[in-house]
Structure 1
Amino acid sequence: MSEATRLAWSMIGTGLVFLLVFAAVLFVVFRIQFRDLEKVATALQDIAEGEGDLTVRITTKNQHDEIGQLATGFNQFVLRLHQMITRMSDIANNLSAQSEELRGAADGNSHIISVQQDEITQVATAVTEMSSATAEIASNAELTAHTAQDSVTLTNSGQQQVIKSQSSIRNLATEVATAGQIIGELNEHSQKISGILLTISGIAEQTNLLALNAAIEAARAGDQGRGFAVVADEVRVLSQRTHDSTQEIQTMIEALQRTASKAVDSMQGSHQMAETSVMDAETASASLEQIANAINRISEMASQIATAAEEQTSVTSEINRNTEAIREVSENLSSSAVTAADKAQMLADLALSLQQEVGRFRL
């Protein structure tokens, strides 16, 4: 082999050695550079997958080359992202707490409104019942007023009948006195005994008829005429006794002189009883007048009660309408409270989802 050939091979070997050394140095340099790029790529991939550690920072040997500037920009980006996600985490926590409070308040309001609805329903029911009761009171008061007015009419009629009976009893007393005088004159007018007896008999029958009429009118007057009925019955009894006495006189004409004085005494007693009956009738008339006045006052009071009850019915009807309006508003509030509770639950779910997303990052 010639010297030139050896020299050529020597130069080729030396070149290959230098080439290998340069390649090794170049590989080491690129390895170092790509290691920093690999760190940046790995960190970005972790952040992109949502499992990144935002506390990690990339350090490079040279801060002034492109890779160093890229690492610096990445560190600033991660810092800003860390601050932003930290704020988002705080906001999510506050949002979760506030949504829980809002949901609790909405549930509480819903319960309160539900209780208020029950109470309003009870009030509406009570007002309706009160309105019905008031209407019934008004109807009964009006009926009482009419009944009282009818009672006044009947009492006035009974009072007129008592006045008539009083006049009849006065007439009876006068006739009884006349009969006493006639009996007193029997000793002097014995020849007129038959005519006088007929007159007395007629008077007795008329008295009986008047007493019967008085008893009928007393029965019509009811409890107010009970006392007068007793008087009328006594008058009728007296009339019957007079009639019996007349019959006895007719059958015992021969004993007329002996019994004349007794007949006079009997007529005097009848006159006194008639006067007593007149006084009783006057008392009954005064009582009926007082009863009529009292019934008039009752009628006026019943009319006032009916008017007040009608006004109360109008007021309770207005209250009932207002209560129904309040119940409708309460139902709307209840629906709104339920909607608010649902929205609060949705907000809580969103806050929880946000917390879960933020929790995927390491802060």
Structure 2
Amino acid sequence: MSIKGKLWGIAICMFLVIGGMMGVTFVRTTSVVLGQMQSTGAESVRRAADNINIQFMSLEAVLRNAAAAVEYNWKTHGSDAPEKVIPLMTSLTQKNKAYGVTDIYTGFEADGWFADGTGWVPDKGYDARTRSWYKEAVAAKGPIVTSPYLDGITKQIIISMTMPAYGDGGKLLGVVGIDIDLGWLSDFVGGLNILGAGSGLLLTKEGVLAAGPAAFKEQVMKGNVVSDEFFPEGLRAAASLMIAGREGQAPLTMLGEEQEFFYAPTKAGLPIAVFFPRSVITDIRRSITMTLLFIAVSAFVVVGAVIFFITRNLNRSVAAMGVVTDRLARGDFSVSYRVQGKDELATISAHLNSMIDALRGVLLSVRGEAQETAQRAETLASLSEETVASMEEVSASISRVMELAESGAAALEETNASVEEIASSASSAANSATEGAESAAFASSTTDASVEDVEGFITSVKGAAAESDRSVERIRELGKSVEAISGFVATITSIADQTNLLALNAAIEAARAGEAGRGFAVVAEEVRKLAEDSARAASNVNKLIADLQRHSSESIDATRATGDILDEAVKRAAQTQKKLEETVGAIAKVAEAVQNIAAVSEEQAASSQEMTTAIRSVTDTTNSMVGAVGAIKTSSGETTRAAEHIALEAQSMSQAAETLLGLVNRFSVDERALPAKTERLPAKRG
């Protein structure tokens, strides 16, 4: 396959890979978008439910505060409590309007009397104990939330929260309730959406529509989403799950459009849901598809254009290189490759041109050398014949010189043996004297080292004694610090005692205050316990300080005893140092005498050795001369034979040079370009 075909094959593979990647990306992106939408929807409705729970928890706190106020009012005023409750309810209602509270009221267990925070006065014979909100709260023994209802006067959607209030001994005083305007909740549900699309839905415990899309506006607080056929079947099925307290999602068709329906319960018993149109997902998928198609088409166009231009330029370069290569194959070294551009082919062409230049220079050099070699071979043949005649005369003279040298070498061998015996005796004496001098020097150096060691020991002991004195001072300073800490601990103990006394007084005052001071009594008891703990801790610290002072005193005594021992060691070391110095003087005198003997022995040994060396040198020189003369004789014979062989080889070399010249002449070389080419070749190699 041609290079062009291979490049187009690569392009086709790239197109297939890009197309496959786009397809996989499209499928995967669609799946991811759908999954993300589902997780986002579930999370959105869950957060909406959490927000509603938080709001109702705040309202429950308002209710509990109102109930606590009623209980306190009853305990404070007794039988006059009902008359005092109306101003209290009015005040609480005004303060909590910002939380959506429209009314705070109380119904009393004793006679069914009703106190309202808005100033409303019930008809004669009104008994709060017969109302459902009263009965349900008493039965639940805690806070309850009623279903939303439409207020007959204000036409607002209201929800009530009620809880019982108890007196001493768990006696039921009545039921406290608050009415809440759900306008804020309707606005909150109306603003729910997912990714900027969709709408919210809110149901009562029974499934009645409390808030929803604009299409269901007429059904608010009228239609039951669970049972009314006005609502789509899929929505009715999902609403059944909602009022059962379930959380989840379901696909459904509403108003002719496919929707994703996400729902979750709330602690107030008002399930909430969010609609999300699937057309949004279709739009996102369409946008992603168009983007991927644009990217794929752009990639195909760019890759195709790049492959086209690369193939065209590559074909041109390869064709030009083929023409030059064909001429080189026929032996024409006068051509060169065209270097164009900065790609790999241009680099290869430049390197091939350098190789052609080098071969051209080599061929011209070989041609010149072949011509010169032929001429030198003829000259060498004539010189070889003259050398053979001269070497025969030299061989005869060398034989006579060799005989005289052998006689002189024998006489020198005998003289050398006698002188070596004398040198051996002198050398033994010198060695013995030298060993004695070395032993004396070693003893002297060892004694000097001992003196230095004793001096170092004395210095170290003196340093240890000084450090012992400093340790005593540090321990004394530590004792002073410990005494200061004892003062601090005494202060802490005094503060703890005073705190304990204050805590006892506070507990007595709290007991006098009765129920109102119960919390303060608990705090006073905790303060008293902390004061006792502080006193115990201070006592433990005092014990530790006493132990530390005792140990410090013992450390001072031990350190002083150590200082006395070190002083005695210094005195004994000084006496030892003095004796060693006397020994050093005696050893020095012995060493000096031994060194004098060694010097004389060494001079005698040196003289004998020089004589032995001189005679041995003369003997070796004579023997070497005999060997050299023999070698010269042998070499002269070999030289004669070599000269004869050279003459024969010179004739063969002349014939080889003529053959080489014929081979080189087969190549066509431009000699005019040789100087410039050969000058730039070294730069290429560097």
Provide the TM-score with structure 1 as the length reference.
0.41
Higher relative contact order (CA 8 A, sep 6+): 1
Larger Rg: 1
Flag the structure with higher strand content.
2
Provide the TM-score with structure 2 as the length reference.
0.23
Flag the structure with higher helix content.
1
